[in-house]
A and B are shown apart, each in its own frame.
Chain A
Amino acid sequence: DADVTQTPRNRITKTGKRIMLECSQTKGHDRMYWYRQDPGLGLRLIYYSFDVKDINKGEISDGYSVSRQAQAKFSLSLESAIPNQTALYFCATSEKGWTTPLSYNEQFFGPGTRLTVL
């Protein structure tokens, strides 16, 4: 089955370390997203990419960077991790809207990566 996978699933690291979270998909979707989930705050968009050459900041991009290495891969990096980046991180994908550029298509989520920064 076509899927969205994330590695690692769990990670504990120390303040100041560089961390990369990876997302791969076999759905053939053009669009990919990174969210973080915090209790009481829900899901917040960090970065999104509508194709390999198109990367956009979300609402909470400070302290993060991304790389879209291929249509199927979208990595999230924390250059210097800090404790308030402790959260559950989700990758998601969606098809490009075929009717208009503004079409919204269902997002398919990965299983999540639990990151703890000590």
Chain B
Amino acid sequence: AQRVTQPEKLLSVFKGAPVELKCNYSYSGSPELFWYVQYSRQRLQLLLRHISRESIKGFTADLNKGETSFHLKKPFAQEEDSAMYYCALKVANSSASKIIFGSGTRLSIRP
């Protein structure tokens, strides 16, 4: 079954502390994973994708196929990181692709 699991509904950390938002996936094909973010009163938007191997706003995420995980990490949290974060998995067949979203984790950064 194709599935994205984000086990934490809410994660609260202090400013300056490290952050790790967990994401696990289930997919028989070659996975492509993404993180989307929704800041307060803003639209859902793409944060990063694993194939780009990029760091956006200090966040990184490494695809671990052995553990089927794609955790989002940041070494020092900032207050503006408070948002809803969604992990997403691309699933594809021979003609088309779509993405499946996890249930989301609300990150709250305390001053």
Contacts and interface: CB of A to CB of B under 8 A. Distances in A.
Contact of B86 (A40, A42, A97): A42
Interface string B34-61: 0000000001111000000000000000
Given A42-B86, A43-B86, A101 B98 contact: no
Contacts of B6: 42
A56 B98 CA distance: 11
Interface string A97-118: 1000111101111111000000
B99 interface: yes
Which of the four size classes fits the interface of chain B? 20 to 34
Given A42-B103, A42-B104, A50-B96, A109 B43 contact: yes
Contacts of A111: 43
A58 B98 contact: yes
Contact of A101 (B45, B95, B99, B101): B95
B97 A104 contact: yes
B92 interface: yes
B9 interface: yes
A101 B96 contact: yes
Nearest to B32: A104
Given A42-B86, A42-B104, A102-B92, A109 B98 contact: no
A90 interface: yes
B90 interface: yes
Interface of A: 33, 35, 40-45, 48, 50, 56, 58-59, 90, 92, 97, 101-104, 106-112
27 contacts: A42-B6, A42-B101, A42-B102, A42-B103, A42-B104, A43-B44, A43-B86, A43-B101, A43-B104, A44-B101, A45-B100, A56-B96, A90-B44, A92-B44, A97-B97, A101-B96, A102-B97, A103-B97, A104-B32, A104-B92, A104-B97, A104-B99, A106-B46, A107-B46, A109-B45, A110-B43, A111-B43
